[in-house]
Amino acid sequence: MEQQLKLKVVINYNALIKKGETLEIEFKSDKRPLSDKDIYECVIGLANTKGGYLFIGVEDNGKITGLNKVRDQSWQTKIKAAIRNNIMPPLDVKCEYIEEGNYFVIQVPSPQKILYYSTKGVYYHRVMKIEGPETVPMLPNEQLSRLSNLGRIDISQEELSEAAFDDFDPVEFARLKNLISQISSNNPLLNLSNEELAKALGFVKTNNKGVLIPTLTGMLIVGKESSINKFIPTHEVAFQVIDENLNPKTNKFFKKSIIATIEEIYSLFEAYNKEKEINLELQRISIPDYSPFAFREALLNALIHRDYSINQSIYIRFESDHLKIISPGGFIEGITLDNFITHEPKPRNRQLAEVCQRIGLVERVGRGIDKIFIEQLRLGRCAPDYSSTDNNTVRVMLPGGESNLNFVKFVVQNKITNLYELLILSTLQEHKKIDLKTSAKLIQENQQSAKKRLSNLISKNFIKNKGKDYTLSSWVYRELNILDEYIRLSGFDGIQQETMIMQYIEEKGSITRAEVETLCNIPSKTASRRIDKLIENGKVKVVGRNRSTKYINKIKNDQQNG
C-alpha cells in the first residue's frame, strides 16, 4: 500500500516579525488584554486585503512582550471560535501558540472573491498611512472598489438610478456612429435609432416601470458633459506638459465622453510629439518621440480599466525625457508586476471593455499592453516601465530620448514583430548578456518556454549561447554597427583577433593601432604584433606616418589600383 507523506510547512515567525508591520503583517500588544473585538476586526482587515498574519503579544516596533498572564489554554481554544462566530461569512483561520516568546499567531487566508464583515455589519481593510499600515473601516466606495478588483461586480454595468435617457447627448451618439462607420460602413448598428443603439450596447436598463435608466458605460460613452460631471464625478483626465525646469507648460482637464476625450487629448499629443525621418533602402521611416499607437493604447487602458469608484483623475504627463500615464486603481486581483504581460485578460469594467471592442475603439479586450510594449521597442527605445504600480494606482512610464536608429533598421529589415523576441533582443543590446532565469523573468514565462524562445532566436542567428549566458551574435552586432563591442566582449584569441581586425577594416575602411588595442582589449605591444603579422602575411598595408598611421586592406587596395 502506497504511503502518502504530508509535508508540514514550517513558518519562521521570528523572520516575519523582523520584517515589521506591512499590509500582510500586523502586531498587537497584549500588555493590556486585547479584546475579542479588536482581534476579529484585525482578522477581517487582513482577510479583505491580502491575507497574512496577526501577531498577539508583539509591540508595534516588533518587540516581543508576550501574552498577558490572564491568557490560559482555554482562551487559545475559544479565540478561534470567537473569530468564526463574529465574522460573516464565517472565516477559517489557523491559530498557533509560540511557546518560545509566549506570543500567539493567527494566520489569515488570502482573499476569496468575497468581502468579510463583522456581525454588526462593519467591513475592515488594511491601508498604508504615513505612520504605517493600519486596520480601518471600509467606506462604501472602497467596498465597491475591492469587489471590483476581485471580479465580483462590474461597476460599468451598474445603473445610475437618478439619471435619465435625456442625460445622453445626441452629439455623442453622432460621434459614436461616426467612429463605428470608420471601422465598418456596413455595421448594422449604424441603422439603429439612438434609443435602439443604447439598448443594443447596454447603455441603458429598463426598470419595473418600463423607463430606460442609463448605465455607467452608457454615460461614459454618450453622456452630456454636465451629466457625466454630475453622475460620474470621478471621471476626469488631466493632460500636463512639464518643461525641463519642472514647470507646467500645459495643464488641461477633461470631463467629456470617452470618445470626445480621446479625440481632444490625441490632438494635444500630436502637437507635442515631435518626429524625425530616417532612410531605409528605398523607404523613409518616421521615428516619433513616442509611438502614437503605444500612447493611444495606454490612454485607452487607463480609461477602460481604471477604478471609477476612486475619486481621482487620470494624469498624462509629458516630461523632458519620458511620458507618464497614471490611472486610479491597481491591477485587478491575480495580476501582478510579475505576470501582467502574459496573464489572460481580466477587465475590471467588463461591460465598458466589451462595448469599446464592439464599437472599434480597441481591437481585442486585454491585449493593449502587448501593443504598448511592441511599439515602444520597435522604435528603438527602452521597454515601458510599470514598476511604480501599487495596489491603488497603475503607473506606466514610456521612456523617450534618442532612439537607437540602428536597432530600428534591424527590426524593420528582419520583420521582427514578436513581443518576446523584441524584449530579449532589446535587453541584450543594452545589457550585453542574459541567462535563462533572467530571460524567463523578463518575458514572464516559465524557463521551459523561455528556453524555446531563446532557441528560436539562435536558429535565426540573432543570438548565440556561451555557457549559461546568451549574447547577440556577431552578425547582429555588425548590423547594429557596434562590432567593436562584440569583439571586446568575446575575448578572442590571436587568430580570432586578426580575423576581427580584418572585419573592422572591411566595415570602417581602415584601423589604427589604438583602435586595435580598444577593439581587442589587448595591450599596445600585442596590438603591434597582430598588425605586424597581418602585414607580413600581405593582408594589410601601412598608410601615413607617425600619428596619422593607419592600416588598410592591402589585397583590396591593390585590386582597386590595378
Confidence category of residue 9, pLDDT binned at 50, 70, 90: low
Residue 157: its H or E element: none
Average pLDDT, the chain: 89
Task: Clarify whether residues 329 and 213 are in a common domain.
Answer: no
* DSSP secondary structure of 226-268: HHHHHH-TT--EEEEEE-TTS-EEEEEEE-S-HHHHHHHHHHH
In terms of Cβ atoms closer than 10 Å to its own Cβ (0-12, 13-18, 19+), residue 556 is middle
Within-domain flag for 167: yes
Q: How confident is the model at residue 481 (pLDDT cuts 50, 70, 90)?
A: confident
What is the reported pLDDT for 7?
44
Whole-model pTM? 0.77
Same domain for 106 and 86: yes
CB-CB neighbours of 291 under 10 Å: 22
Does 515 share its domain with 446?
no
Judge residue 503's burial from the number of C-beta atoms within 10 Å of its C-beta, 0-12 exposed, 13-18 middle, 19 or more buried.
middle
Q: Say yes or no to pLDDT of 249 above 80.
A: yes
Report the alpha-carbon distance of residue 258 to residue 217 in Å, rounded: 10
Comparing 83 with 547, which gets the higher pLDDT?
83
Residue 269 predicted with pLDDT over 80: yes
Supply 424's cell numbers. 530579449
Q: How far apart are CA 120 and CA 134, in angstroms?
A: 20
- Among the listed residues 50, 45, 232, the one whose alpha carbon sits nearest the alpha carbon of residue 138: 45
377 and 321, same domain (yes or no): yes
Q: What is the DSSP string of 316-359?
A: EEE-SSEEEEEEES-PPTT--TTTTTTSPP--SSHHHHHHHHHT
Determine which of 28-32, 157-161, 274-278, 535-539 has the lowest per-residue pLDDT on average.
Answer: 274-278
Write the CATH number for 442: 1.10.10.10
H or E stretch at 507: helix 494-508
- 410 assigned to some structural domain: no
* Domain CATH code at residue 398: 3.30.565.60
Angle at 168 between CA 204 and CA 306, to 5 degrees: 70
- Residue 75's identity, in one-letter code, is W
- What is the reported pLDDT for 25? 96
Under 8 Å between Cβ of 332 and 339? no
361-370 residue pLDDT tens: 887 655 678 9
pLDDT digits (tens, 9 = 90+) for 327-377: 999 998 889 999 999 988 888 999 999 999 999 988 765 567 899 999 999
Is 422 within a domain?
no
Last residue of a domain, one of 416, 447, 479: 479
Same domain, 472 and 491: no
Contacts of 411 (CB under 8 A, 6+ apart): 377, 378, 380, 422
Amino acid residing at 150? L
Please report the pLDDT score of residue 366 as a whole number. 55
Print the domain residue range for 33: 13-138
pLDDT, mean of residues 291-314: 94
What number is the average pLDDT over the span 211-218? Answer: 96
Beta-bridged to residue 280, according to DSSP, are 283
Per-residue model confidence as pLDDT tens digits over 51-60: 999 999 999 9
Q: Which residue has the cell 498587537?
A: 28
pLDDT at 484: 62
Helices 524-536 and 513-520: angle between axes, nearest 10 degrees: 110
- pLDDT value of position 491: 55
Residues 491-512: tens digit of each pLDDT: 556 777 888 788 888 888 899 9
The pLDDT of 19-33, averaged and rounded, is 95
Q: What percent of the chain has pLDDT over 90?
A: 60
Tally the domains of the chain.
5
Structure confidence by residue, pLDDT tens digits, 404-456: 888 988 998 899 999 999 999 999 988 889 999 999 999 999 999 999 999 99
Within a domain: 488: yes
Residues 518 and 470 grouped into a single domain: no
Residues 249 and 390 in one domain: yes
Reported confidence tier of residue 320, pLDDT bands at 50, 70, 90: confident
Backbone φ and ψ for 314, nearest 5 degrees, come out as -80, 135
383 residue type, one letter:
A
Give, in degrees to the nearest 5, the angle at Cα 51 between 49 and 53.
Answer: 125
Helix (H) or strand (E) holding 298, with range, is: helix 292-305
Residue 425 counted as domain residue = no
Look at residues 220, 397, 194, 399 and name the one whose alpha carbon lies nearest to residue 306: 220
- Look up the CATH number of the domain holding residue 90: 3.30.950.30
356 in any annotated domain: no
Answer whether residue 251 shows pLDDT above 70. yes
Query: In whole angstroms, what is the distance from residue 77 CA to residue 286 CA?
Result: 71
| Strands 248-254 vs 237-242: parallel, antiparallel or unpaired | antiparallel
Mean pLDDT of the region 30-47: 95
Instruction: Give the residue among 150, 165, 217 at the shortest CA–CA distance from 354.
Output: 217
Calpha distance 471→432 (Å, rounded): 6
Of the three residues 231, 251, 277, the one that is the final residue of a domain is 231
Q: Regarding predicted confidence, which is higher, 317 or 3?
A: 317
Same domain, 250 and 388: yes
Q: At 86, is the pLDDT very low, low, confident or very high (cuts 50, 70, 90)?
A: very high
Mean pLDDT of 285-303: 92
Lowest mean pLDDT among 276-285, 390-399, 455-464: 276-285
Residues 332 and 448 in one domain: no
Please report how many Cα atoms fall inside a 13 Å half-sphere around the Cα of residue 431, on the Cβ side. Answer: 15
The sign one gets for the Cα dihedral 185, 188, 191, 196 is negative
> 213 to each of 20, 65, 152, 153, 371, how far by Cα in Å?
50, 58, 22, 19, 36
User: Same structural domain for residues 96 and 218?
Assistant: no
Decide if pLDDT at 299 tops 70. yes
Q: What's the confidence (pLDDT) of residue 388?
A: 95
- 222, part of any domain: yes
pLDDT of residue 131: 86
- Is residue 412 assigned to a domain? no
What does the H/E/C string look like for 29-94? CCCCCCCHHHHHHHHHHHHCCCCEEEEECECCCCCECCCCCCCCHHHHHHHHHHHHHHEECCCCCE
Residues 296 and 393 in one domain: yes
Q: Please indicate, yes or no, whether residues 259 and 275 belong to a single structural domain of this protein.
A: yes
